């Protein structure tokens, strides 16, 4: 685990330097869906500080078993009826794509502090993908900025699977421009860009990712849905 983390950090650092960025501005989120609690603890002991899960149910059981301290990120699609529970488990939710979800998260008074959220933006046009459409993001962000228990931090996207990771770059740069425009129009600092997975994280770092979400690159195996 230590070696896998080191290898990935090294690759992040090289990509960051290529783009003239400080590697310390890129947070590595270890995606542990399908990985058992013992291995999550191992990852935390090896230096992982951020844990990503895509299902509320799985994360809830795991978080109760994991002893090590970490920041927990929900990266998968969230349903309204699970929002309350999610707000109690996660520190950061990357996948808000509707005002309904945002409201459901913000309404949770059991969260001891405001929950950090990102808007997931769907830029690929692939049928069935979740995420807010780019032309809906400004209105959603405006609504969310007014919700007291939410802290809107930025945007998230999932690039399409492409043969060459460099082909994912236009999607990442599109997310960055959208974030820049939004920040400007709303007068809000939106520091976070959650983009890049095992297959394309170096391209994402070159385009400004502040959070990369890595499962397979750290834990091996086939990527899960």
Ligand X SMILES: *Cc1c(COP(=O)(O)O)cnc(C)c1O
Task: Give me the residues that bind ligand X (CB under 6 A), please.
Answer: 31, 33, 54, 75-76, 158, 197-199, 213-217, 223-224
CB 92 within 8 A of CB 74: yes
CB nearer to ligand X: give 54 or 210.
54
CB 34 within 8 A of CB 224: yes
Least distance between ligand X and beta carbon 223 (Å): 4
CB nearer to ligand X: give 208 or 215.
215
**What does the alpha-carbon distance between residue 97 and residue 90 come to, in Å, rounded to a whole number?**
17
Least distance between ligand X and beta carbon 92 (Å): 13
Nearest to 8 by CA among 22, 26, 25, 21: 26
Angle at 28 between CA 26 and CA 103, to 5 degrees: 90
CB nearer to ligand X: give 33 or 82.
33
Residue nearest to ligand X (CB): 215
Least distance between ligand X and beta carbon 218 (Å): 8
Least distance between ligand X and beta carbon 199 (Å): 6
Torsion 191-192-195-196 (CA) sign? positive
CB nearer to ligand X: give 150 or 159.
159
Least distance between ligand X and beta carbon 25 (Å): 19
CB nearer to ligand X: give 35 or 111.
35
**Tokens 């799985």 — which residue?**
58
Residue-wise burial string across 145-174, b where 16 or more C-beta atoms lie within 10 A, e elsewhere: eebebbebbbbbbbbeebeebeebbebbbb
Nearest to 149 by CA among 217, 223, 68, 84: 84
**What does the alpha-carbon distance between residue 108 and residue 102 come to, in Å, rounded to a whole number?**
10
**Tokens 């993908």 — which residue?**
129
CB nearer to ligand X: give 43 or 147.
43
CB nearer to ligand X: give 142 or 169.
169
Least distance between ligand X and beta carbon 109 (Å): 28
Least distance between ligand X and beta carbon 214 (Å): 5
């Amino acid at each position: 685990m230590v070696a896998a983390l080191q290898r990935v950090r090294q690759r992040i650092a090289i990509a960051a330097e290529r783009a003239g960025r400080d590697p310390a501005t890129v947070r590595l989120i270890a995606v542990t869906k399908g990985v058992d609690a013992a291995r999550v603890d191992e990852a935390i002991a090896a230096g992982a500080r951020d844990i990503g899960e895509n299902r509320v149910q799985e994360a809830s059981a795991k978080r109760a078993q994991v002893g090590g301290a970490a920041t927990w990120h929900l990266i998968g699609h969230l349903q309204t009826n699970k929002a309350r529970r999610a707000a109690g488990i996660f520190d950061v939710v990357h996948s808000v794509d509707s005002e309904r979800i945002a409201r459901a998260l913000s309404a949770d008074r059991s969260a001891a502090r405001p929950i950090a959220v990102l808007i997931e933006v769907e830029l690929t046009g692939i049928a069935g993908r979740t995420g807010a459409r780019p032309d809906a993001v400004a209105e959603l962000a405006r609504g969310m900025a007014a919700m007291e228990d939410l802290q809107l931090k930025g945007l998230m996207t999932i690039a399409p699977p492409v043969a060459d990771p460099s082909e994912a770059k236009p999607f990442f740069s599109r997310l960055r421009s959208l974030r820049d425009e939004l920040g400007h129009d709303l007068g809000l600092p939106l520091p976070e860009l959650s983009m890049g997975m095992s297959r394309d994280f170096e391209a994402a770092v070159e385009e400004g990712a502040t959070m990369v979400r890595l499962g397979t690159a750290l834990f091996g195996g086939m990527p899960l849905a």
